[in-house]
């Protein structure tokens, strides 16, 4: 019995290609790439933020009049001077009340605008752009428009023209003294400038809420409107609401542009803490030590209030521990 053997078929030889060589050198290092992209930002942050903060803290312990390189150490005298300054302490109290009013008002207005825009079926992009547009406006320009055109205190101003239709006499909105009318000017311009930005944050959060939650709520018998908003929408916006409230709180204590351009320079009411510090450091006395001490006090106050608010709102806690 003969056996036949099949000839082996010669397999085509595949030319060996040079494999990709591993990247070597600096470009292959993740550490190098990290510092390459973040280095310029960190350098700018150190030069324009960290160094001025450290320099301000250092100046607050020296007698620094008309110079930023003092040599006479005074300890906590600058802090004592600012804490006994009635203008500075009065501005802190005034703007604590201002923050307690403007923060929840802006939060409610921003959330309301976001809910309205989110429910639109057409022209959503148009209204989103219209409400966001004031954010790009300069605070100085808006403050001057509010002061010189809308609330200028004469019968040609828009506000006095409107109230004149109802037989109300003209109001000197920002004349000295005019509390509490000047708060109407400050609050309206700040709402107009800020509400659109925070509306975008709420709108982004609303779009991330799963629709299945509302479907399940409808099956369970929840009525659309207040019930779904209270039990579904508002809890889902907890993280965004906390961030918005913290940002609004910090912005309230840092208010300067609109107050400086609306309120007369001779007025002793309605001054923000930054206005008092500006006059102390860059006024006729140019006391950089006292101004730096006031800045440190204001920073500590903002941090304490922010931490307290974050503690109440549960900022930083895991979802399952809330």
> What local confidence, expressed as pLDDT, does residue 202 receive?
93
Counting every residue written for the chain, the total comes to 322
In angstroms, rounded to a whole number, what is the distance separating the alpha carbons of residues 213 and 216?
Answer: 5
168 to 138, 177, 180, 181, 183: CA distances (angstroms): 32, 20, 17, 14, 19
Euclidean distance between the first and final Cα of the chain, in Å? 86
User: φ and ψ at 287, to 5 degrees?
Assistant: -90, 90
Report residue 225 as tokens: 């409107």
How far does CA 51 lie from the centroid of its chain?
A: 22
Return the H-helix or E-strand segment holding 173. Answer: none
Full-model pTM: 0.76
> What local confidence, expressed as pLDDT, does residue 1 receive?
47
Neighbouring-strand partners of residue 287: 65
In angstroms, rounded to a whole number, what is the distance separating the alpha carbons of residues 293 and 109?
Answer: 36
User: φ and ψ at 62, to 5 degrees?
Assistant: -130, 160
Kindly report the number of other CB atoms within 10 A of residue 34's CB atom.
10
DSSP one-letter code for 147: I
In contact, 248 and 198? CB cutoff 8 Å: yes
180: cis peptide before it, omega within 30°?
yes
In contact, 82 and 294? CB cutoff 8 Å: yes
In contact, 240 and 202? CB cutoff 8 Å: yes
Return the H-helix or E-strand segment holding 75. Answer: none
Q: Which CATH class is domain 60-213+240-307?
A: mainly alpha
Report residue 250 as tokens: 């910090």
Using 70 as the pLDDT threshold, list the residues of the chain that sit under it: 1-28, 153, 155, 176-179, 264-270, 314-322
Contacts within 8 Å (CB) and 24+ apart, 285-288: 285/65, 286/65, 286/66, 287/64, 287/65, 287/78, 288/59, 288/64, 288/65, 288/67, 288/68, 288/70
In angstroms, rounded to a whole number, what is the distance separating the alpha carbons of residues 302 and 316?
Answer: 18
Residues 61-114 pLDDT 10s:
998 888 777 778 888 999 999 989 888 888 888 888 888 888 899 999 999 999
Q: Which residue ranges make up each domain of the chain?
A: 60-213+240-307
Report residue 238 as tokens: 């907890």
């Amino acid at each position: 019995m003969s056996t036949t053997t099949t000839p082996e078929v010669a397999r085509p030889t595949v030319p060996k290609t040079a494999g990709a060589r591993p990247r070597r050198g600096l470009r292959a290092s993740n550490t190098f790439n990290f510092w390459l992209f973040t280095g310029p930002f960190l350098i700018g942050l150190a030069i324009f933020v960290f160094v001025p903060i450290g320099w301000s803290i250092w100046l607050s312990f020296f007698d620094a009049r008309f110079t930023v390189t003092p040599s006479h150490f005074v300890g906590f005298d600058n802090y004592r001077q600012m804490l006994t300054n009635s203008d500075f302490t009065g501005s802190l109290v005034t703007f604590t009340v201002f923050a307690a009013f403007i923060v929840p008002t802006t939060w409610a207005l921003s959330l309301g605008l976001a809910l309205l825009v989110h429910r639109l079926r057409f022209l959503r992009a148009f209204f989103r752009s219209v409400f966001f547009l004031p954010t790009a406006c300069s605070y100085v320009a808006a403050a001057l428009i509010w002061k010189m055109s809308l609330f200028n205190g004469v019968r040609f101003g828009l506000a006095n023209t409107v109230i004149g239709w109802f037989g109300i006499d003209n109001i000197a909105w920002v004349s000295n003294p005019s509390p509490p009318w000047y708060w109407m000017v400050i609050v309206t311009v700040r709402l107009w400038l800020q509400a659109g930005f925070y509306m975008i944050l709420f709108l982004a959060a609303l779009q991330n809420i799963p629709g299945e939650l509302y479907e399940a709520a409808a099956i369970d018998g929840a009525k659309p409107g207040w019930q779904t908003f209270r039990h579904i929408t508002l809890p889902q916006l907890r993280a965004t609401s906390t961030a918005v409230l913290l940002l609004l709180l910090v912005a309230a204590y840092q208010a300067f542009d609109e107050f400086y351009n609306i309120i007369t320079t001779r007025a002793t009411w309605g001054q923000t803490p930054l206005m008092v510090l500006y006059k102390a450091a860059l006024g006729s006395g140019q006391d950089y030590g006292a101004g730096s001490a006031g800045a440190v006090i204001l920073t500590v106050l903002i941090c304490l209030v922010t931490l307290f608010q974050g503690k109440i709102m549960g900022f930083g806690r895991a979802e399952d521990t809330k």
